[in-house]
Structure 1
Amino acid sequence: MAKTDELTLAIDGLRCASCVSSVENGLTGRHGVETCQVNLATKSATISYDSTTTDAQGIIKQIEQLGFSAAVGRPDFLAASKREVITARRLLQISVVLTIPLAAVAMWPMWADRSLVPAPFDALTQALLAAVVLLYGGRTILMDAAIQTRHLRANMNSLIAMGTCAAFGWSIYLLLINWDSGISPPLFFESVGMIITLILLGRFLEARARGRAGDAIRAMIDLRPTIATAIINGVDIEIDASAVQPGMILLVRPGERLAADGVIVEGQAVIDESMLTGESLPVEKVPSDKVVGGSVNGNRSFKFQVTATGEKTFLAGMVRLVAEAQSRKAPIQKLADRVAARFVPAVILVALVTLAGWYWLAPDSPLLIQCVISVLIIACPCALGLATPTAILAGTGRAAREGIIIRGGDILERITQLNAIVFDKTGTLTCGELEVVNVRSVDPWSRRELIRMAGSAEKQSNHPLAKAIAQLMDKEQIDASEVRNVQDRPGFGVEALYRGERLLIGNEALLKTEQIDPSACRDTAQEEMEQGQTVVFVALGGKLAGLISLGDRLRNDAAGVVARLGKMLERVSMLSGDNYRTVAGVARSIGLEYFEAEVRPDHKQQVIESYQKAGFRLAMVGDGINDAPALAAADVGVAIGGGTDVAIEAANVVLVRSELADLPKMFRVADQSMKVIRQNLFWAFFYNVLAIPLAAGLFYPLFGWTLSPMVAAAAMAFSSVFVVTNSLRLNRRAL
């Protein structure tokens, strides 16, 4: 039986969109590989494969056979980006130093007496300088082109290598046959130097810009401190942060960063979590409150016990989510990938047609070789390859700085297609912190006895309603009684044995199921529910004992967010397991027209699916308590950051700081990112469609328009830099 596993690889040797297509097409559907997604911006691949057929080493071997190198694990994008910038700068500096005298020698006859430097020696000097620029400055281009040729493939470097080598070889040929003739033929040595230098300039600017696109990850990683103060045998000892272990007690002084996640055990603090959650205001913390590594302590020292370190911390999880998001493709990129796969062979064909056309029309014209070189140089599959991933990199990074983790380009695109949103009520539109607001007992039971019987049973449950009732019993210092056989009744409440009698605690539906008359408290219950309170009935021995009403405070921004989303989407709705009157009261208070009440936990997913069948493309927002399946079923699942791990795992978007006001920002960053992606793709397509015919000399007979190889190289470099720079604008856009 097939078993599907997923593998992430760092791939070296990716240069352009054609390389991406080579790896994806070379792996997908072969040798046990089911799917393969390669990201040019992060130099990584995510591969799903049948582990009964192949393994990681087998896949790496296949990649090596394609002419690339690979290693298991997510690439160190930041370190690789830094190395790329350093290498590009060094090659550029050397090429510039050599190209300046090359250009000066080439232009010498224009402003000096040619007799001072005989033509052959002038040309020979150019040839030597151009050779050094080509073989040293352009060595990575030539080496990669050779690898591609050996594997019967071609990419952007193949085009550059063909163009520059053709220009250099043709110039050497003309130099040799005219050595003793006294004729000065048109040579392209300075074009070779300028082409290589301009391309290296473009790659340097591109590498530096791509590095800035990873600023979100870099900023998160920089939050990790290197030193921590541990309390060992009552003594403060400074240790390396990497040596911190769960269970240790750490001391944090004012202004210091926390080295790990934990719980405060002594002292109080005001902690700045802005770089982690986007929350601008410091957060007050007291003993038993959770704290996260990477946040900054305010003006008081405190001690906390470590609960998570290293890759298990909240910060590491956020870094991992952002890194994963930036490696996932948007569906719109498939168009670019399909074009890129055929792009380089098509350009080579156009170059051959250009050669044949000019040879037929003007075999002696210097434009013959010039146009062929320009066609090979100006074509830019790199712009196509970078159009989508750089925008995703910048867009998801921009969202991450606002505390919004969007898990990939596919999710960005999906968000822009939504026309509805559904909120879970408790813990999402409300704060999820219930408290008892009213207790009504029915004779012969007293208020105190009602609290005792309900609280004694609810102490054994983790449900928020149960906790609030149990906390009231503790607050009023009421002793618990023995309760046995406590059982959950999903969607209804709980039942137990209290002093030998059957105890029921739950909603009105539970009373109806057990045929218990609620009329003694019906008026009170209706009043409470109309105010948005949740009513819990208590019955003992088949008779109503009273009710307890609980309130859950609405989030301050709930009404405003609902109003803003109502202007952006066709439908904003809410679903809840609470009774109709309670849910209707909440809906009225925040201006919601659509809601679903009395939805059992196992039916929430069905409600989402019914919306989808009605034609809605919707987001589901929840905290993960009973709604993880619904989050997974929605077109886009949005988890509140303070929710459960299951919800965060099931969701496509995580609101780290748990603020509903971040939802409109999520829509805006998705819209802005997709707009930039479309701009980039339009530019990449438009540039190549216009530039290649111009370089081929198609407009020369009509308008006298053509392009020199140097201008072609500058245009090609600019196209890639434009795409990356346009993507980086997302970092400056207001949300």
Structure 2
Amino acid sequence: MKKELLDITGMSCSACSSRIEKVVSKMQGVQQISVNLLTNNAHISFDESVVDEAAIIARIERLGFGAAIHAQSRAAAPASTPQDTAAQEMEEMRQRLIGSMIFVGLVFYQHMGRMWGWPLPGFILGQENELINALLQMLWCIPVLFIDRKYFIHGARNLLSGAPNMDSLICIGSGASFIYGLYAVFGLAYAFGHNRLDLIPQFADALYFEASAVILALVTVGKFMEARAKSHTSDAIKALMSLTPKTALVERHGLQGEIPLADVVTGDVLIVKSGASVPVDGTIIEGSGALDESAITGESLPVDKSVGDKVTGGTINQSGYFKMQATAVGANTTLAKIIALVDEATSSKAPIAKLADKVSGYFVPAVISIAILAGAVWLALGASWHFAITIAISVLVISCPCALGLATPTAIMVGTGRGARSGILIKSATALETAHKVDTVILDKTGTITAGKPVVTDILPTNGVSKDELLQLAASLEQLSEHPLGKAITSAAANAQLELNEAIGYKQIPGQGLTASIAGAAYSAGNLRLMQASGVDVEAIQAQQEALAQAGKTPLYFARGTQLLGCIAVADTVKPTSKEAVAQLQGMGLQVIMVTGDNSVTAEAIRTQVGVNKAIAQVLPQDKEQVIRQLQSEGHTVAMVGDGINDAPALARADVGIAIGAGTDIAIEAADMVLIKSDLLDVAKAIRLSRGVMTNIKENLFWAFIYNAIGIPFAAGVFYTAFGWLLNPLIAAAAMSCSSVSVVTNALRLRFIKL
């Protein structure tokens, strides 16, 4: 199955994207297609053995749209700046708007000036000059029609292909106004030629050139403002893409030189000076630096890095100097993957978007039918042709499905961008929507609630031995051990700068511990069973040992011969923010459950420490998925948070899988969201973001539906007989433009949502 990204041109509203999806999805071999009106592209999955890109592009072109394979994938070359479609569209609209406004100003001033007595040249005033006035208005109108000819080209093409869109409505509305104006010009010529002066006022009142021109200009104003607002929706992606430098300082064969970033290969030694950006992902091999990782992780404080530490492309070296070895370049860097994830999420569609797409598919044909029906009804009721055409044009112009089509993708794009800036990567619009419905959060213990790395927590010496002496002895015995608990002890001794003694005769006893000799004396280190087998009395610290076990800590005993020297407790410590994160989730009305493979005593200790609602202990990896399945069968919407390979099935089973960023690639691949900072507080942030985005989408859809529900009857003259309310086509065009701009502007508020 092949995936391809196509650039689509000629789309003006969600009726267009809906039409393309409907037709292309029916092509044999096409598995899935998602057309994004906001970014003007389409993600397509298809079977190469059945259909190819050329056939898909040809089918889209037959619908009246332009299509081409996307020139450059964002993920493939994050260092380069892609074509900014929204910015290009905005500049094109700006030029069209300036040209249109010049001639619209002339025709509008001339038309309204005669009505309101503004200063005008005498050769267009008076009944005897009505034909000159009409011809001059037509002369000003024609350049506007030419400048904004795209509305007519795309509108007519889509109308003839049976897929009318917003451009079709504008084409019919503005075109009908111009044609009716032409009818008036010929009528005036007939009146003057046949000396029928009684007909002149009738035809003079039927000039609609100013309506034809102003409708196009107002729609272009709306499109310009819409494009301007849309350009801000992708600010997060553009900001991420600007992080990576264009070049890198490389050291090859003892020589240093600056090369294009695209020429950097895995294994290259790169030099990063103070103030420079890290070009690619890698490991420091010499020197040190304080890195600003805020753009990647959302963490504002700089992080100190030294030899052996990993660095991420796109981060900034605020101070220091170091050499690094490139470990990931191009599309494999963390930044490139983040950009790809954000781009993929903004191009996907949330389930709620299907409602708007479905409505838009039938909307434009329904509007055209309503316009024709409204005009016909008024004619049947005895209204003039002038009145009936005014009604029909107003209905066509005010009924724009743009707002419906933009309601969801704008909020999704801004929301995912806001998440990316905070270190929360959302892989699909579906996940972003589903997260707001979550009522139960399942947390893996090791590496999620806890740090996932055992550390020494308590040192309890006996028989006159000091804490440092006990730790030194313990580390001397454990330095040959590969056990994680032994490494925790040697690490603690290293941090205390204790000098270790040489242990000889090292012997490991499976399931119990080890024995060795130091300076001719026999020592043993291990659990209670080893002490009992060695005849060591541990009663002196029995009470303390039980307290350690209750706290979820693992005690290790150390003895010289049969004399107990003390006990050192080792535990996987809870992350500093875990307790607060659990409290925040519970404060949001969520049930928080911890699952772990540890014994019930340790699980209960951690549960008490962080305050989760429930702890499920001794759960095998394959059983985590079963726990989620059971909760789902009870009607719960479940989010699973984990970091390990054994969490992947559970992450995939959950309604929303959330992977800790420091976890394995498999866990991240299986998840719907990724927390770059590996901080549980970001789980609450992700759910808050989802709730904010969904509220925003519902607001957008509500106002888009309400706008049309009120606007169409108003434009059709439903309230004219009772209240005398009639909508001028110019006001209708302005209202239509404002509806789209208001939806995009409302979505932009998400950039400032507090998480």
Helix, strand or coil at the partner of 2:267: coil
Identity of aligned residues (%): 40
Deviations 1:142-172 (A, max 9, x none): 1111321342220010010011111100110
Q: Following the alignment from structure 1 to structure 2, what is the Cα–Cα distance between the partners of residues 494 and 139?
A: 85
Greater mean deviation of Cα atoms: 300-309 or 375-384: 300-309
Q: 1:467 to 1:346 in 2, by over 3 A?
A: farther
Helix, strand or coil at the partner of 1:366: helix
Kept in 2: contact 1:612–1:618 (CA 8 A)? yes
Q: Following the alignment from structure 1 to structure 2, what is the Cα–Cα distance between the partners of residues 243 and 325?
A: 29
Q: Residue type of the partner of 1:145?
A: G
Asked if 1:458 is matched to 2:458, the reply is: no
Q: Following the alignment from structure 1 to structure 2, what is the Cα–Cα distance between the partners of residues 261 and 610?
A: 41
**2:85 maps to which residue?**
80
Within the candidate set 54, 58, 61, 2:58 is matched to 61
Asked if 1:36 is matched to 2:33, the reply is: yes
Q: Following the alignment from structure 2 to structure 1, what is the Cα–Cα distance between the partners of residues 391 and 526?
A: 82
Gaps of 5+ in 1: 487-492, 499-504, 512-516, 539-545
Q: Following the alignment from structure 1 to structure 2, what is the Cα–Cα distance between the partners of residues 567 and 706?
A: 52
Kept in 2: contact 1:452–1:473 (CA 8 A)? no
Structure 1 segment 507-526 matched on structure 2, within 5 A = 526=546
Within the candidate set 427, 447, 467, 1:427 is matched to 447
Kept in 1: contact 2:475–2:486 (CA 8 A)? no
Q: Following the alignment from structure 1 to structure 2, what is the Cα–Cα distance between the partners of residues 118 and 343?
A: 44
**1:382 maps to which residue?**
402
Deviation at 1:711, TM superposition (A): 0.6
Structure 1 segment 196-595 matched on structure 2, within 5 A = 196-364=216-384, 366-436=386-456, 458=482, 468=488, 476=500, 526-534=546-554, 550-595=570-615
Within the candidate set 149, 164, 171, 1:154 is matched to 164
**2:134 maps to which residue?**
123
Q: 1:674 to 1:321 in 2, by over 3 A?
A: same
Greater mean deviation of Cα atoms: 661-670 or 235-244: 235-244
Greater mean deviation of Cα atoms: 30-39 or 568-577: 30-39
Kept in 1: contact 2:360–2:404 (CA 8 A)? yes
Deviation at 1:246, TM superposition (A): 1.7
Q: 1:661 to 1:450 in 2, by over 3 A?
A: closer
Asked if 1:91 is matched to 2:96, the reply is: yes
Deviation at 1:620, TM superposition (A): 0.9
Kept in 1: contact 2:448–2:643 (CA 8 A)? yes
Asked if 1:107 is matched to 2:112, the reply is: yes
Helix, strand or coil at the partner of 1:187: coil
**2:684 maps to which residue?**
664
**2:46 maps to which residue?**
49
Kept in 1: contact 2:286–2:323 (CA 8 A)? yes
Q: Following the alignment from structure 1 to structure 2, what is the Cα–Cα distance between the partners of residues 46 and 416?
A: 25
Deviations 1:438-489 (A, max 9, x none): 7999xxxx99999899876737xxxx66864786899956669899999xxx
Deviation at 1:689, TM superposition (A): 1.0
Greater mean deviation of Cα atoms: 405-414 or 694-703: 405-414
Deviation at 1:537, TM superposition (A): 11
Deviation at 1:408, TM superposition (A): 2.4
Gaps of 5+ in 2: 75-81, 192-196, 462-469, 517-524, 559-565
Asked if 1:639 is matched to 2:659, the reply is: yes
Cα RMSD, aligned residues only: 3.5
**1:169 maps to which residue?**
179
Aligned residues: 703
**1:699 maps to which residue?**
719
Q: Following the alignment from structure 1 to structure 2, what is the Cα–Cα distance between the partners of residues 647 and 536?
A: 33
Q: 1:248 to 1:379 in 2, by over 3 A?
A: same
Deviation at 1:279, TM superposition (A): 0.4
Q: Following the alignment from structure 2 to structure 1, what is the Cα–Cα distance between the partners of residues 543 and 83?
A: 65
Give the TM-score taking structure 1 as reference length.
Answer: 0.88
Q: Residue type of the partner of 2:390?
A: Q
Helix, strand or coil at the partner of 1:294: coil
Q: Residue type of the partner of 2:88?
A: R
Deviation at 1:7, TM superposition (A): 3.6
Kept in 1: contact 2:159–2:165 (CA 8 A)? no
Helix, strand or coil at the partner of 1:585: helix
Q: Following the alignment from structure 2 to structure 1, what is the Cα–Cα distance between the partners of residues 308 and 17?
A: 50
Q: Following the alignment from structure 2 to structure 1, what is the Cα–Cα distance between the partners of residues 696 and 128?
A: 53
Q: 1:140 to 1:518 in 2, by over 3 A?
A: farther
**1:514 maps to which residue?**
none
Q: Residue type of the partner of 1:606?
A: Q
**1:22 maps to which residue?**
19
**2:152 maps to which residue?**
142
Q: Residue type of the partner of 1:171?
A: G
Helix, strand or coil at the partner of 2:674: strand
Deviation at 1:523, TM superposition (A): 7.5
Kept in 1: contact 2:20–2:63 (CA 8 A)? yes
Deviation at 1:67, TM superposition (A): 2.4
Kept in 1: contact 2:593–2:615 (CA 8 A)? yes
Deviation at 1:605, TM superposition (A): 1.5
**1:490 maps to which residue?**
none
Q: 1:525 to 1:689 in 2, by over 3 A?
A: same
Kept in 2: contact 1:272–1:298 (CA 8 A)? yes
Q: Following the alignment from structure 2 to structure 1, what is the Cα–Cα distance between the partners of residues 625 and 545?
A: 29
Helix, strand or coil at the partner of 1:46: strand
**1:13 maps to which residue?**
10
Q: Following the alignment from structure 2 to structure 1, what is the Cα–Cα distance between the partners of residues 342 and 512?
A: 41
Helix, strand or coil at the partner of 1:267: strand
**2:700 maps to which residue?**
680
Q: Following the alignment from structure 1 to structure 2, what is the Cα–Cα distance between the partners of residues 140 and 518?
A: 92
Helix, strand or coil at the partner of 1:198: helix
Q: 1:525 to 1:79 in 2, by over 3 A?
A: same
Kept in 1: contact 2:275–2:317 (CA 8 A)? yes
Deviations 1:532-583 (A, max 9, x none): 2246899xxxxxxx99853122111111111111121341111111111111
**2:632 maps to which residue?**
612
